[in-house]
A and B are shown apart, each in its own frame.
Chain A
Amino acid sequence: MGKLPFEGIRVLDFTWYAVGPVTTKYLADYGADVVRIESAARLDGLRLAPPWKDARPGVDRSQFFASFNTSKRGITLDMSKPAAREIFLRMLPWADLVTESFTPKTLRNWGLDYELLRAIKPDLIMLSTCMQGQTGPHRDYPGFGNLMAALSGFYHISGYSKDEPCPPYGAFTDFIAPRFSACALIAALDYRRHTGKGQYIDMSQYEAALHNLAPMLVDYFATGRVLGPEGNKSQRYAPHGTYRCADEDGHERWISIAAGADSEWSALTKILRIDDSAGRFATMRARMGARDALDETIGAAVRGRSAEELTETLQKAGVAAYPVQNCMDLHRDENLEAFGFWRWLDHKEMGPSPYEGLEHRMSRTPGDLRRPAPALGQHNDEVFREILGMKDDEIERLRRDKVIY
């Protein structure tokens, strides 16, 4: 096995919460030395977010934080103190990348911006990611990805009808933006390799997320039509929905089914023993025209069946189906298991803990969760000695002055 792709790449990482840390996790899991710069004076909110080890909160007990920060080292600097700024600037020449995800004014308030950093490190690549970008009237809008999912249109297309909205779970856009920013960062690293030039990347979570709703926007600009929520109705498949199966140990189980071609429908009727001899649903056009009745018919036919067994049977007959998995089910899902999705790592404070693995697998230079997330300030001594050659007494003094904090 060769060395990891980003071995030798060094990142000073100011990002917090989700988008930034998930972006730099791609680099860290593939070998980059990513040093998270945190502070107890301005704690990354994810450190306090559940789930917690033994369901007990604490800054080093959040699996939420841990999952997003694998393979990184962690130091603490209270950047509101001038001495911390000086230390950061002394570390800067060591770094290839600087990343941050505050509202735009934060770095300015610290007296740091790309121009200044570039004067010290001319080929620096810097990523700033925030809700709405570094320019424009709304640039200082603070918020989380759940609000961004509302602002960027995802809430509006989510629900049983226009009057019954049901948003997607959580901070949905937090899981769109990192893939775009990771692509931009890696491409910028490659560009620097060819040209010697660094650059500044201004990432708006909003603008990245809208790519996932592009057809809706193309449509509006072309025709003025405003797409709304339609439950599980599809213009491509009928049936297309989720149907309640037999409960298991008191837990509700549902199956998702999508059928397009008439042959799929005909296979479905046989398996579900649906009598359509009258041909009410025989053609796609007929099924599209009677989707509610169709859903009712299927709902009645699957109610006593096992979601897993029915999935297997339908798939064997070439019909797309899968159980609607809850978070418990994900831990006994045979396909996730075979992909090796769940990983256990031994965290400094939390002990052996469940981490999500990578969502892809590479044949020759596979990335990995190389180590669990850092406890707050876990690598202070190591990093300050190694990068700045600090002596123990200096580190101790900075700790006492709450610069390293």
Chain B
Amino acid sequence: MRSELLKGLRMLDLSDEKGALCGKIFADMGADVIKVEPPSGCSSRNIPPFLEDRPGLDRGLGFLAWNAGKKSITLNLACEDGRQLLRMLAEQADFLVDSFPPDYLQSLGIGYETLAALNPGLIHATVTAFGDRGPGKNYKAADINGWASGGAMFLMGEEGKPPIQMSVPQGWLHAAAEAAVAAMIAYYARAADGLGQHIVVDMQACVAWTLMNEQAMPLLHGDYLRRSGVFSGAVGGRRKTVYRCADGFISFIIAGGPYLGSTNAVIAWMKEEGAAPDWLTREGGLKSLTPTSFMAATAADLAELERTEEAVQKFFLGKTKKELWANILKRRLFGAPVADAADIAEDPQLKARGYFVTVEHRGLDRTLTLPGAFAKLSETPVGPQGPAPGLGEHNDEIYGALLGLSAREIVELRAVGAI
């Protein structure tokens, strides 16, 4: 059932993987999102990994995930008939999102100015890697380049080894979601005077925004942070953030400040099980754990915290992820399992909230399970509205019912390669 939240609004999604999440968020909120693809299919259909590792236009896992609930039409922007169709569609759309190089659509005669002349209410968002004004405005960028450009990558990895990215790349997702927020703001603004506008999103800035203000550190404290593997430089000195346990890893932090209660609670647990070393249980043994040590730990504090980390690491090695998680919840510790897809799929919390949603994918002749509502809205529930579309699956519906073209006209446009 379509969400009532943005029902009746229409978005043309000309983006590839760089902007896909923008349209996905809109589709989840009930907007009619039409993915406009070249006749050979959007390049994002060919991005691995694939379902069962078998390539195919409907098998890319990212494509299936971030295009769920959209419609698909084919349209060839390289020919004038195709561009004319786009102009007709833009007249009937509220939003258009693209991820082409900044001047590309303009060069084809279908840039924002042109489309706005036809539909002054159109809101057009362009997702870029490095903005539309700097020397890099036409730079090519894979996700890894955006991740590198915004400072997040330099902070991820071991000292002396290459900086790394996550194995599900994250840079473009931030930019695409930013496009969704900006488009919503512009839509709210449109009610005042009916006018749309053009939005430029900068992935590099989006990535820089994830750094918890570490990016201002050089100006205020005079130095920049280095990457340090599983250690964090940001929490009370160099604190270990990932511990090995019996069957995997657990994220945990031993520190003062906001972590003090949790640190004392894990020590109490170790005592209960006779696993706390003597020096930890001696009266006043852990001098560093005052609330202020988070802010101004001395060298002695830090040495003591390090010894505590070693003891806790030893203790955790004898525990499974599940045991640790159960105790984290019971004892209100600041920790979390380093969960993998299987842990998440089985999480009782997500199950209790009915989070995952299963949709029927007719082209694949199977069901697919997707992340569900990104928020629970009491009046207007949101969530995946259906599977990702097959290539051109909605050509007849959009060109026929929406644009009012006859079956014959559609056949002709197909014949000249416009559709």
Contacts and interface: CB of A to CB of B under 8 A. Distances in A.
A364 B212 CA distance: 30
A55 B145 CA distance: 32
19 contacts: A50-B234, A133-B353, A150-B242, A153-B339, A156-B339, A176-B173, A190-B6, A190-B188, A191-B380, A213-B371, A223-B52, A228-B340, A240-B142, A256-B153, A256-B163, A319-B140, A320-B142, A360-B202, A361-B199
A165 B242 contact: yes
Contacts of B249: 155-156, 165
A231 interface: yes
A258 interface: yes
A303 interface: no
B144 A256 contact: yes
A241 B21 CA distance: 24
B213 A51 contact: yes
A126 to B, nearest CB: 9
B377 interface: yes
Contacts of A330: 150-151, 208, 215
A207 interface: yes
A242 B112 CA distance: 36
Nearest to B61: A215
A217 B140 contact: no
A46 to B, nearest CB: 9
Contact of B65 (A155, A189, A214, A354): A214
Given A221-B369, A326-B154, A191 B379 contact: yes
Contacts of A258: 142, 144-145
B29 interface: yes
Nearest to B161: A160
B21 A211 contact: yes
A215 B339 contact: no
Interface in A130-162: 132-139, 141-144, 146-160
Interface string A202-214: 1110111011111
A188 B191 CA distance: 14
Interface in B342-391: 342-345, 348-350, 352-353, 355-356, 366, 368-380, 382
B66 to A, nearest CB: 6
A356 B349 contact: no
A187 B164 contact: no
B205 interface: yes
A305 B216 CA distance: 28
B95 interface: no
A175 B134 contact: no
B181 A183 contact: yes
Interface string A319-330: 111111111111
A5 B185 contact: yes
A354 B216 CA distance: 7
B403 interface: no
A47 to B, nearest CB: 12
A295 B146 CA distance: 20
A39 interface: no
B140 A318 contact: yes
Contacts of A134: 376
A240 B142 CA distance: 9
A242 B145 CA distance: 9
Contact of A214 (B66, B193, B215): B66
A233 B164 CA distance: 9
A54 B170 CA distance: 33
A200 interface: yes
Given A190-B187, A201-B375, 4 more contacts: A137-B348, A156-B339, A184-B377, A211-B371
B156 A169 contact: yes
Interface in A219-277: 219-237, 240-244, 254-256, 258, 260
A234 B147 CA distance: 14
A285 B164 CA distance: 23
Contacts of A365: 185-186, 189, 197
B416 interface: no
A279 interface: no
Interface string B171-192: 0011101111110111111011
Interface residues of B, number: 153
A134 B352 CA distance: 11
Interface string B116-153: 00000000010000110111110111101111111111
A109 interface: no
B33 interface: no
Interface string B194-215: 0111111110111011111111
Contact of A167 (B140, B199, B230): B230
User: Which of B158, B166, B202, B348 has its CB near the most chain A CB atoms (within 10 A)?
Assistant: B166
B154 A324 contact: yes
B90 interface: no
Nearest to B250: A150
A383 interface: no
A224 B205 CA distance: 36
Interface stretch (B69-77, B218-226, B268-276, B312-320): B218-226
B216 A51 contact: yes
A289 B210 CA distance: 34
**Nearest 4 Cβ contacts at the A-B interface:** A338-B134, A214-B65, A258-B142, A150-B251
Contact of A152 (B130, B212, B339): B339
B338 A155 contact: yes
B369 A158 contact: no
Contact of B202 (A156, A214, A254, A339): A339
User: Which of A136, A138, A167, A365 has its CB near the most chain B CB atoms (within 10 A)?
Assistant: A167
A389 interface: no
A66 to B, nearest CB: 8
Nearest to B170: A212
Given A158-B164, A242-B148, A226 B342 contact: yes
Interface stretch (B278-286, B328-336, B405-413): B328-336
A187 B184 contact: yes
A226 B188 contact: no
Contact of A217 (B142, B151, B370): B370
B341 A216 contact: yes
Contacts of B241: 146, 167
B145 A166 contact: no
Contacts of B337: 150-151
Contact of B336 (A150, A182, A360): A150
Contact of B150 (A2, A325, A363): A325
Given A201-B375, A335-B131, A153 B341 contact: yes
Nearest to A61: B220
B368 A222 contact: yes
Given A155-B249, A331-B219, A254 B163 contact: yes
Contact of A150 (B125, B152, B338): B338
Interface stretch (B43-51, B81-89, B301-309, B393-401): B43-51
A8 to B, nearest CB: 10
A295 B50 CA distance: 24
B287 to A, nearest CB: 21
Nearest to A341: B205
Contacts of A64: 212-213, 216
